[in-house]
Chain A
């Protein structure tokens, strides 16, 4: 079997943070000796990624996702366990290693604010020592795929959030990294832009056989991009496997939203009524009966509109956590 591109074994990261009780006395006391508290951000993670895999990395805020990505990219030093990416130890940040990876952070920017993205791209070309021919070819591909054309010549500060994010991603991929870490790349973007970035990422993944690990809050991201998901909570692994299995395993329900004329009807016989506002009913139904109930609703009632939804990722994850920790 080929060696995994990303390998984690019992990876740990413990932060030491100063701890202080509220109040004057404690404030004075902390002048002399600071009490430190240990916080386990990542607590014994083990998983492997093979070449060309695209994996969704899920967990609630503070679960340790960003900390893990930072350890993988080389920004953070682990406090325990083993981590290897492309055969290198990330935190050594050897130049040959850095040339093969990239980290995109949805909430951070590497582009120079005052100048057009094209100028920042040129700077990256020189920093990564890219031959001009290769660089121009990659730039052209990225420009086409992400539809960057008119954006490249505008100062970055004049771009919208979504436009800037596309440029951020392009800047991070100009050196064609084999391993791509993305931390919330679609955060705050509208649905169209999210979709564009998603389709781009899967295109990049297939075209270059790049290994991609991404975190996201949006179920749609994860559903569209990765078959495999890794879920962590309190720094520990909760689930590692097929997305379909995750949803199946942890959610037995779907949500049906029915638009009727008003809220006067009684829909309790169809499923659990969550609420009704201005004729818009939200029902929770067992997953295996969704089709039949939908059919029945359409046949029985003057339905204006009907929508069947998977529970949002937060809900699925919530279920994973409650069931996982019990």
Chain B
């Protein structure tokens, strides 16, 4: 098989998966709406809380005005929507129900169906989130000092953020091979995400030592970094450092993923599914 035909095959696979995902999603219009509400509600709550705080303390907190927070959380909502995955919640179920057995017997790596499923669902929900963000922008009137270059660099930063988040979460999801208590791992992960990705508050509001930790761990590079970049809060040097960190995390998580996948499958084929 030449690399060219391999790539063409993957394109066809992704195209077909798009149709499948689309068909599944329209089956559940009600749950789609509920899920969209939750995606919007969370940043909305942070936005309202922080706006109130900033209005109450003389119009700004840590350099953010109420409208600055609006900008931060509206962009955050869109970036979160673009990068988020549900794989960590699903893997244990797959291992337990035997779906993984079928996936292992297919002549293609199971990660491809997850990537394409994820991208497909994004393609369908992103327009809706953008419309919601637009409406909210009319209400909360965000301000930011965006520049052309930061807007342009935002695109690759967003794609890298998606890759980091997808690869890290896919790797962690493999814990299901070793334990039936993946929920505990997930809880720890999402608490760290809450603080270190810039979710509960922009990272610049945290003490310096937490910011240092955030720079080392992957969370910031999945969410906070592209948000700050688009809002024009980063210097070119900080931007470059961020992109390097993202690429480093993509490479590191790819290596980890390969190691964990091989070890996990070895465990699976030792004990059976």
Residues on A lying within 8 angstroms of B by beta carbon are 15, 67, 70, 73-77, 91, 93, 95-96, 98-99, 101-103, 105, 107-108, 110, 112, 114-116, 119-120, 122-123, 125-129, 155
Chain A residues, CB < 8 A from B38: none
Which of A95, A107, A127 lies in contact with B13, CB distance below 8 A?
A127
Decide if B12 touches A126 in the complex (CB within 8 Å).
yes
Q: What are 19 sample pairs from A and B whose C-beta atoms fall under 8 A apart?
A: A15-B271, A15-B272, A75-B101, A75-B269, A77-B269, A95-B107, A98-B106, A99-B107, A105-B98, A108-B99, A114-B24, A114-B27, A115-B20, A115-B24, A116-B23, A122-B16, A126-B15, A127-B106, A128-B106
By a CB distance below 8 angstroms, the chain A residues around B272 are: 15, 67, 70, 75-76
Complex CA distance for A135 and B116, rounded to whole angstroms: 23
Are B23 and A108 within 8 A (Cβ)?
A: no
Distance from B124 Cβ to chain A, minimum over Cβ atoms (Å): 14
Q: How far is the CA of A108 from the CA of B98 in the complex (A)?
A: 7
**In the complex, chain A residues whose CB is within 8 Å of the CB of B28:** 114
User: Is B17 in the interface zone, CB < 8 Å from A?
Assistant: yes
Quick check: B23 and A73 within 8 Å, CB to CB?
no
Residues 1-41 of B contacting A (Cβ, < 8 Å): 9, 12-13, 15-17, 19-20, 23-24, 27-28
Question: Provided the pairs A105-B98, A123-B17, A126-B12 are in contact, do residues A75 and B104 lie with their beta carbons within 8 angstroms?
Answer: yes
CB of B9 within 8 A of CB of A129, answer: yes
Contact B107 A73, beta carbon cutoff 8 Å: no
Contact present for B16 and A123 (CB under 8 Å): yes
Q: What's the nearest-Cβ distance from chain B to residue A92, in Å?
A: 11
CB distance from A135 to the nearest CB of B (A): 12
Contact assessment for A110 and B269 in the assembled complex, using a CB-CB cutoff below 8 Å? no
* B interface residues, how many (CB within 8 angstroms): 29
User: In the assembled complex, how far is the CB of residue B264 from the closest CB belonging to chain A, in whole angstroms?
Assistant: 13
Cβ of B139 within 8 Å of any chain A Cβ, yes or no, is no
Partner of A73 from the list B98, B105, B108 (CB cut-off 8 Å) is B105
Specify which chain A residues have a CB less than 8 angstroms from the CB of B106 in the assembled complex: 98, 127-128
Q: Which of B106, B266, B271 has the most CB of A within 10 A?
A: B106
Q: Please provide the chain B residues from 169 to 226 with a CB less than 8 Å away from any CB of chain A in the complex.
A: none
Contact status B97-A98, CB under 8 Å: no
Chain B residues near A110 (CB-CB < 8 A) = 99, 102
Bound-state CA distance A255–B104 (Å) is 46
Smallest beta-carbon distance A55→chain B, Å = 20
| A125 partner residues in chain B, CB cutoff 8 A | 16
A15 closest partner in B (C-beta): B271
Closest to A93 in B: B104
In whole angstroms, how far apart are the Cα atoms of A126 and B12 in the complex? 7
One of A91, A98, A120 near B269 (C-beta < 8 A)? A91
CA distance A129 to B108 in the complex (A): 10
18 further interface pairs, Cβ-Cβ under 8 Å (given A75-B105, A96-B107): A75-B101, A75-B104, A75-B268, A75-B273, A77-B266, A77-B269, A103-B105, A108-B101, A110-B102, A112-B24, A114-B24, A115-B20, A115-B24, A119-B20, A123-B17, A126-B16, A127-B13, A127-B107
Q: Which residues of B contact A128 (CB under 8 A)?
A: 106-107
Interface presence of B270 (CB below 8 A):
yes
B156-174 at interface with A (beta carbon < 8 Å)? none
Q: A96: shortest Cβ distance to chain B, in Å?
A: 8
Q: Which residues of B contact A122 (CB under 8 A)?
A: 16, 19-20
Nearest to A129 among chain B residues (CB) is B9
